[in-house]
Structure 1
Amino acid sequence: MKTTGVIGIGDMGSGLAKNLLKNGFSVTGIDPVKDRMNAFTDMGGVAAASVAEVARAAEAVFVMVMSGDQAKSVILGADGLAAHLRPGSAILLSATIKPHEAREIGQEMSGSGVHLIDTPVSGGFPGAQGGTLTMMAAAPDAALDEFAPVMQAVSANIHRVGTRPGDGQTVKACLQSLIGAQFAATFEAAALAAKAGVPGQVLLDVFSTSSAGCGVVNNALEKIIDRQFEGTGSHINTMHKDLTISMGLGEELGVPLHTASAAMQIFHAGRTRYPDGDNWVCTRVIEEIVGAELHRQAKP
């Protein structure tokens, strides 16, 4: 198997394409943004004029779109993947959508002869570009075995979390409830330090070597103290959407998510005040309230 496709070549999808090419796969892709397509062809990808064209050229296609409606359209539409992929091919649903939406896609694909691998990812822009993503893969073992080389090309950690569509999305929703809370706590701690006059480098040194230090916290704090609030590959819309999915699953199952709810409100505020910002811009909203900013070095 050497022919693959990517639907959606943004911050995440471009990383998938890059690492598939790096590992010897041909990649046919499509994205509505012209600049993304130009960058994709510059790296060696083959531009397609339609989703159906991607399907006809590939044996395995990653779907990295923003919403469940978009995923349904590119997979189930008349011009979609399910209608044009050859039997035995696979759709790798790497976008984060609602679990019930993944289940609905699986039900509609029943009998198509095309495998659906529900495999949302974690690792953000750095993980996608570096080929170190964590995948939460759900499909029968035979399908996961067959398409393992494709997943291994873009991922450092592949976890088999279930056998049915929706199982991967459910685990991702649980993960995002935790990551959202970690982000929110970091934003608040950064504002607290700023108001107290603690230099950002001091906070980073302590946090990163403490039991609280982790990739999520350390990366967020780095972006905050360097005032990198846009263009870092982690647009606030994505995390806001993911937390909405987590909260919806909690409501569906009757599970109280107190901390995730608080994080959701912080992301609401950040997205409303700075709609073009990345996740870390939430800190600016809190800083504006307290009248202090956290920089790597304290201002004289």
Structure 2
Amino acid sequence: MPSVGVIGLGDMGSGLAKNLIANGFETWGRDLLDHRQRAFEEMGGHTATSTAEVGRNAQAVFVMVMKGAEAHEVILGPDGLAETMAPGGVILLTATVKPAEARAIAQGLAGRDLHLIDSPVSGGFPGAQAGTLTMMAAGTDAAMDIARPVMEAVSANIHRVGADAGDGQTVKACLQSLIGAQFSATFEAAALAAKAGVPGQVILDVFSTSSAGCGVVNNALEKIIDRQFEGTGSHINTMHKDLTISMALGEELGVPLHTAASAMQVFHAGRTRYPDGDNWTCTQVIEEIVGAQLHRDAAKVTR
């Protein structure tokens, strides 16, 4: 059984590591924050002091960082994975970055005996922790064959969406444009219900059993009516970043994204007003405007 590495042990990366360890893989991890390193070690992982140490010890490495520049540095920088992994190893780019950034990483790996799978994920913090993520994987047949056992340890749905780097990120950008719109519509509907005096439980019961009910909507409503706006594992910075990628791709291809653009502004307002909040905190901005809050048992007038 191959040794596996995880670079980035935050909300998503910690879930990857947890499920790799649970499936019997020797797992090496690296994060810049000490408390994440300690939590990883407590779950049975081998903490590394550098990316190079992960590369030297792992035959497959998940890269779950926040930005494209960080992924580039981890993979192609001095003492990065490209320099330290043994020939035949696989790098799984599970971070969400711009398609062009994934292609640039692939170009930087050209001529090296390493495989790259461009595979952003969906499912958020719950999916990462439960090992039920959806993977949008783009890679060669050889890369997919080598990496499949470790991918199956963290994912319930592995979709082969292409063969080239950038293909996975393109699909993820399309997906996030839809999810962003679902989120923003849910936030507005919650504020509308609050202003109308409808209890949150009523809204959740109806929405979740209607044709509009889905994981995105139901989970967001649960968090809103229980007033859980921080620490839920879905920090607003991530979705805000993802929507900027969707909008950039639309600009590049000349595709109007009217609804995604509106969602981008909702998330921009939420991030500005509540920079430490999670996705659902956008609802608070709208609630402040209308002077009402949606709670599980009853809506509350705030002014």
Query: Scaled by the length of structure 1, what TM-score is found?
Result: 0.99
Q: Secondary structure at the match of 1:293?
A: strand
State the match for 2:106 in structure 1. Answer: 106
Matches within 5 A, 1:117-266: 117-266=117-266
The DSSP-based 3-state class of the residue aligned with 2:293 is: coil
Using the alignment, how far apart are the partners of 2:79 and 2:55 within structure 1? 9
Match of 2:79 in 1: 79
Looking at structure 1, the residues matched to 104 and 208 of structure 2 have their Cα atoms a distance apart, in angstroms, of: 42
Provide the C-alpha distance between the structure 2 equivalents of 1:42 and 1:163, rounded to a whole number of angstroms.
37
Change (3 A) 1:188 1:299: closer
Residue 20 of structure 1 aligns to a residue whose secondary structure is: helix
Tell me, yes or no, if the aligned pair for 2:200 and 2:299 is still in contact at 8 Å: no
Looking at structure 1, the residues matched to 117 and 135 of structure 2 have their Cα atoms a distance apart, in angstroms, of: 11
| Separation of aligned partners in 2, 1:149 and 1:299 | 48
Q: Deviations over 1:178-222 (max 9, x none)?
A: 000000000000000000000000000000000000000000000
SS at match of 1:159: strand
* SS of alignment partner, residue 143 of structure 2: helix
Displacement after TM superposition at 1:2 (Å): 2.4
Q: Deviations over 1:100-130 (max 9, x none)?
A: 0000000010111100000000000000000
Code of the aligned partner of 1:105: I
Secondary structure of the residue aligned to 2:157 is strand
Task: Work out the CA distance in 2 between the residues paired with 1:3 and 1:146.
Answer: 12
Check the 8 A contact 1:187/1:282 in 2, yes or no: yes
TM-score (norm 2): 0.98
The CA RMSD over aligned residues, in Å, is 0.7
| Contact 1:2/1:24 (<8 A) preserved | no
Offset at residue 264 of structure 1 (A): 0.2
**Tell me, what secondary structure is at the counterpart of 1:136?**
strand
Which amino acid is 1:48 matched to?
Answer: A
AA aligned to 2:231 is G
Take 1:276 and 1:169, find their aligned partners in 2: how far apart are those partners? Answer: 26
Note the 1:40-55 alignment, pairs <5 A: 40-55=40-55
CA deviation after TM superposition for structure 1 residue 78, in Å? 1.2
Distance 2:81 2:198 in 1: 53
Corresponding residue of 1:62: 62
- Residues 20 and 154, structure 1, Cα contact 8 Å, conserved in 2: yes
What is the CA-CA distance between 1:146 and the residue it aligns to? Answer: 1.8
Q: Which amino acid aligns with 2:19?
A: N
Structure 1 residues 257 and 299, CA, compared in 2 at 3 Å: closer, same or farther? Answer: closer
Q: Structure 1: which amino acid aligns with 2:202? A: V
* Contact 2:181–2:263 (8 Å) recurs in 1: yes
What percent identity do the matched residue pairs reach? 76
Work out the number of aligned pairs and report it: 300
Distance between the aligned counterparts of 2:116 and 2:79, measured in 1?
Answer: 17
Tell me the residue number matched to 1:31: 31
The letter for the 2-side match of 1:275 is P
* SS class of match (2:292): coil
- Gaps (5+ residues) in structure 2? none
For residues 145 and 182 of structure 1, what CA distance do their matches in structure 2 show?
35
CA distance in 2, matches of 1:299, 1:288: 13
Distance 2:246 2:58 in 1: 32
Unaligned 5+ runs, structure 1: none
Aligned partners of 1:2 and 1:163: how far apart in 2? 23
Could you tell me how far apart the structure 1 residues matched to 2:147 and 2:75 are?
Answer: 18
Name the CA distance, whole Å, in 2 between partners of 1:262 and 1:278. 18
Shift >6 Å, 4+ stretches: none
Q: Give how far 1:299 is off.
A: 5.6
